[in-house]
Amino acid sequence: MNEKILINARIIDPSQQMDEKGSLIVDENGKVKAIGKDVKKIDISSSTEIIDLKNNILIPGIVDMKAFVGEPGYEYKENFRTLSHAALAGGVTSIVTMPNTKPLIDNVSMVDFIIRRGRDKASVNLFPSATLTRETEGKQMTEFGLLSAKGVVGFTDVVKAVQSTETMAKIMDYASDIGVLIMQHAEDYELSKSGCINEGEVSTRLGLQGISYIAEKIIIERDLCLLNEFPCRYHINQISSKESLEVIKRNKENGLNFTVGVSINNLSLNENDIGDFKTFLKVSPPLRLEDDRLSLVEGIKSGLIDVIVSDHTPEDEEGKRLPFAQAASGAIGIETLLPLALEMHHNESLPLNKIIETLTINPAKILKINKGTLKKGAEADMCVFDLDAPWIIKADLLKSKSKNTAVEERKVQGKVLMTFLNGELAFKS
């Protein structure tokens, strides 16, 4: 690979508090050689490829902490190849894959499979997670030590929460010793049982069983109480309500160390968008009130929420074309993550740098992976986007194998122009 220089870029890299006009040189090994306003074309040799970014924005490749690949078992929904295409088109270069496949990723041989299969078929960086408990039954913890040694970055039961307080206490106690990351889906099943949307006016009108915010809050309260006793690396996958945020605020103020994620769905939609039973907007945790959405945005601003995830959940039409209560949960989102996140910049509710931080360096830090940064020496995973370019999201044009987007026909601003992986151009619009 030739050395290349990206010139005329507005570089935003929150890992080094950088937001400046400048250039970036990628060396022949695909690593960042130099970055910033002081890098000039003069610094390069004659063989260097020059790419003019025309004042568009250059950021580290996005790190998505929560995406579902259909492999193994659900190849008809998504596979490594289609997920990679969708990710790169969305500026995402690193993905934490969810373990709720068929079979589940809950043992060493499955992790081997994922890593090998990913190496052959995927064209993005994959960071596998494994289940927190065997069979996601919430009873017995998986082999945290052995699985971590194989390359698992975190442990989660994805759409399930460990219900037993005893099991959770043991998990956290054990995890605190070996230093693995626990990623909890906060939902009390007894409270959320058969619920499918937020409990409130919309559930009353649609005649659907609601899920109270208490179902989420109570698990967060419980886990944080345990965390106080067993300080481990603890991350809440996605929160959805104002009330959860209050619990988080109180605990963070008390000095407890943990991290929090939010799905782009809960940041860009609210329960009213469900309208007349739109099953594509059935997601978990559910969309809640506009007031909740605003609180979540505020939570990012104040640093209570650390990361934004796509919660990319491909589902085929069969699974969605059912009465609402029976329909599958989840929406695809990896390709639309950045433009939707940029809405919060365009409507002036979040600073651009904060948005980029939650998509790059913050998840990388939580995962303890060397991504989300363009510091000298880092692998040059990069995303170039036009901040203002308007476009309309159309499911048919998205690259995921499944087309269950929750934001069909949404008008957005901000378009990914190029995505680089290890210094190589991997996507160009």
Partner 1 sequence: MAVKKNTLAVKDQPKHLLGIQNLTIQEAKDILDEAKIFIKLNRSASKKSDILRGKTQINLFFEPSTRTQSSFDLAGKRLGADVMTMNVANSALKKGETLMDTAMTLNAMHPDIIVIRHQDSGAPNLLSQKVNCTVINAGDGWREHPTQALLDALTIINRKGKIEGLKIAICGDILHSRVARSNIYLMNMLGAEVNVVAPKTLMPKSIERLGVKSFTNMKKGLDGCDIVMMLRLQNERMQGSFLPSKREYYEFYGLTSEKLKFADKDALIMHPGPMNRGVEIDTKLADDINVSLVKEQVELGVAVRMACLKMYCKK
Catalytic residue among 311, 381, 386, 396: 311
Between 78 and 199, whose beta carbon lies closer to partner 1?
A: 199
Between 275 and 377, whose beta carbon lies closer to partner 1?
A: 275
Q: Is 199 in the site for partner 1 (CB under 8 A)?
A: yes
Between 115 and 191, whose beta carbon lies closer to partner 1?
A: 191
Q: What's the token pair of residue 311?
A: 């919660």
Residue pair 290/201 in contact (Cβ under 8 Å)? The answer is no
Count of CB atoms within 10 A of residue 338's CB? Answer: 26
Rg (CA), the chain: 21
Q: Is 210 in the site for partner 1 (CB under 8 A)?
A: yes
Q: Looking at 18, 162, 206, 307, which residue binds partner 1 (CB under 8 A)?
A: 206
Q: Looking at 1, 322, 392, 397, which residue binds partner 1 (CB under 8 A)?
A: 322
Residue 258: alpha-carbon gap to chain centroid: 17
Q: Is 272 in the site for partner 1 (CB under 8 A)?
A: no
Contact pattern from residue 78 through residue 117 relative to partner 1, giving x for each residue in contact according to CB under 8 A and a dash for the rest? ----------------------------------------
CA max distance for the chain = 69
Q: Looking at 80, 234, 324, 385, which residue binds partner 1 (CB under 8 A)?
A: 324
Alpha-helix residue ranges (DSSP H) falling in 230-316? 242-253, 264-268, 290-301
Neighbouring residues of 264: CB distance < 8 A, sequence distance ≥ 6 = 308, 309, 310, 311, 333, 336, 337, 340, 341
Q: Is 277 in the site for partner 1 (CB under 8 A)?
A: yes
Does 311 qualify as catalytic in the annotation? yes
Q: Looking at 108, 256, 325, 387, which residue binds partner 1 (CB under 8 A)?
A: 325
Between 324 and 420, whose beta carbon lies closer to partner 1?
A: 324
Reduced to 3 DSSP states, what percent helix, strand and coil does the chain have, rounded to the nearest 5?
Answer: 35, 25, 40
Q: Is 271 in the site for partner 1 (CB under 8 A)?
A: no
Residue 207 CB, shortest distance to partner 1, in Å, is 3
Q: Is 225 in the site for partner 1 (CB under 8 A)?
A: no
Q: Is 189 in the site for partner 1 (CB under 8 A)?
A: no
Q: What's the token pair of residue 212?
A: 């109270």
Residue 357 CB, shortest distance to partner 1, in Å, is 36
Neighbouring residues of 346: CB distance < 8 A, sequence distance ≥ 6 = 413, 414
Alpha-helix residue ranges (DSSP H) falling in 308-348? 317-320, 337-346
Amino acid at position 98, single letter? M
Q: Is 68 in the site for partner 1 (CB under 8 A)?
A: no
The DSSP 8-state label assigned to residue 31 in this structure reads: B
Residue pair 10/56 in contact (Cβ under 8 Å)? The answer is yes
Q: Is 149 in the site for partner 1 (CB under 8 A)?
A: no
Q: How many residues of this chain bind partner 1 (CB under 8 A)?
A: 20
Q: What's the token pair of residue 414?
A: 């901000």
Q: Which stretch binds partner 1 (CB under 8 A): 39-47, 56-64, 233-241, 322-330?
A: 322-330
Question: Which residues of the shown chain bind partner 1 in the complex (CB under 8 A)?
Answer: 199-201, 203-210, 276-277, 318, 321-326
**Which residues are catalytically annotated?**
311
